[in-house]
Amino acid sequence: MTERTYPKLVLLAGIAAMGSMAIHMLVPALPLIAADFAVGPGEAQHILGFYLFFLGAGQLVAGQFIDRIGRRPVLLAGLLAYAAGAFAAWLAPSFPALLAARVLQAGGGAAGVVTARVIVSDSGSPGEGAARQATLMMVVLISPALSPVIGGLIASSSGWRAVFAVLAFAGLLAFAAAWASISETGPRRREVEPAPSLVRSLWAGYLRLLTDRRFLGAAGTLAAMSSALYIFLANAPFLLVSRYGLSPDEVGIAFLFVAAGGIVGSRFVAMLERRTDPLAAGVALGVAGAVAALAADLAGFTGPVALIAPLILLGVSAGIAGPAGIGRAIAVNSTLAGTAASLAGAGQMLISAFSITVMSWLSPVGPSKLCSALVIATAIAAACAVLARPLATR
């Protein structure tokens, strides 16, 4: 990696992280938004659910536009949509208007995430591409650790609308930087596969992957573990604020411990891969954390420490199972690596959005209900991890 390419890589990593920033920065502010619009916790969770759904669906759509019209136009259009959605959310006069703005922001975030990854893959030799993807992933993993703290501080000092103002400014800043420094890296249009053939090959690839037990197991594990994490993120703020009296900035600090566990977990993936199955090990930690949280609640331990401390294991688990799951999904068929990555990533977001929606129907969610849901989600992940194992080791 040269000094000349490093700033471009950092910019692309920041753009890839913006999709998750719009989730994690907003989590501590959810109780404030619910109070402002006089909606219950279940309805307020749609702010995350809608975003996750369209972030997932948008990745599938964005990939087609990237192939047809190029990387740079899709990247720039996505950043503008992201900023416009955040700006509209900042000024939203009603809760439905806020949800509509989140749909626009999610579409832009999806385009930015996918395009950034593709541009990194386009550049350099395979060895260089792997190193750059590692840097990209590290920034994306750091974002969930810092974003709740930043979002909590902003919400506490200036209100929840200020969080969207910061996201809108970040989108415009990224657009200006990308306009100045990101050039087209894809093939010329005459080299791109015609649209009818492209659609046929896309669906053929989907069919091959969706009938492969190993891919379904890896993608299912990824989706179930992601669902557990987002169920926690969507429901815990209301418990920490309404039941335990924490402020939004304190909620952000509490989430910092869980997110930091994800960073720690990601550092152990390579070591675990040399010694055991990292996907199974990561899921086992998630199950242990969820069971410990439920056991603590049933034993009568209450308070933010009793809730957060065992779920740090959930963060560590996500840091291990996330990279291991996407790596396992891609490794199923080397000729469909891109399709596998986009399909697994989209499924991760869509199923997480569905899980949040189901939990919103069960509102209000107390500690027992939350911990029980985490046990169920991690147990499903454990079952899927068995399917994901190579045939020779089952």
Whichever domain contains 167, its CATH number is 1.20.1250.20
14 and 65 inside one domain: yes
pLDDT for the residue numbered 119: 78
Domain count, the chain: 2
d(CA 36, CA 28): 14
Answer yes or no: do 88 and 198 share one domain: no
Considering the domain architecture, whether residues 320 and 216 belong to the same structural domain is answered as: yes
Q: Are 267 and 132 in the same domain?
A: no
Nearest to 27 by CA among 193, 176, 229: 229
Q: For residue 325, what pLDDT is reported?
A: 82
Task: Tell me if 297 sits within 8 A of 367, measured CB to CB.
Answer: yes
Confidence at residue 334, expressed as pLDDT on a 0 to 100 scale: 63
Question: CA-CA distance, 121 to 141, in Å (whole number)?
Answer: 19
223 in the same domain as 103: no
Tell which of 157, 173, 189 closes a domain: 189
Per-residue pLDDT, 135: 56
Answer yes or no: do 358 and 261 share one domain.
yes
The tokens of 278 are what?
């990292």
Do 262 and 121 lie in one domain? The reply is no
Residue ending a domain, among 164, 189, 214, is 189
Same-domain status, 330 and 303 = yes
Picking from 189, 212, 237, the residue at the C-terminal end of a domain is: 189
Find out whether the peptide bond into 364 is cis, omega within 30 degrees of 0: yes
On whether both 46 and 150 belong to a single domain, the answer is yes
CA 155 – CA 42 distance, rounded (Å): 20
- Asked if residue 226 and residue 168 are part of one domain, the reply reads no
The tens place of each residue's pLDDT in the chain, 394 residues long, gives 444 556 777 788 888 888 888 988 998 889 999 999 999 888 888 898 889 899 888 887 776 677 677 788 889 999 999 999 999 999 999 999 999 999 999 999 988 887 877 777 665 544 444 445 555 666 666 777 788 889 889 998 999 999 999 999 999 999 999 998 887 766 555 444 555 555 666 677 778 888 889 999 999 998 999 899 889 988 888 888 888 888 888 888 888 888 888 878 877 877 887 888 888 999 999 999 999 999 999 999 888 898 899 989 998 898 888 878 877 887 777 666 657 777 887 888 889 889 988 888 887 888 899 999 999 999 999 999 998 876 554 4
Dist CA 278 CA 375 (whole Å): 20
Q: 221 is in which domain, residue-wise?
A: 193-394
The residue with tokens 């992957």 is 209
- Is the domain of 89 the same as that of 3? yes
CB contact burial 273-285 (16+ within 10 A = b; e otherwise): beeebbbbbbbbb
Q: What pLDDT does 372 receive?
A: 95
Both 46 and 127 in a single domain? yes
Give the pTM. 0.77
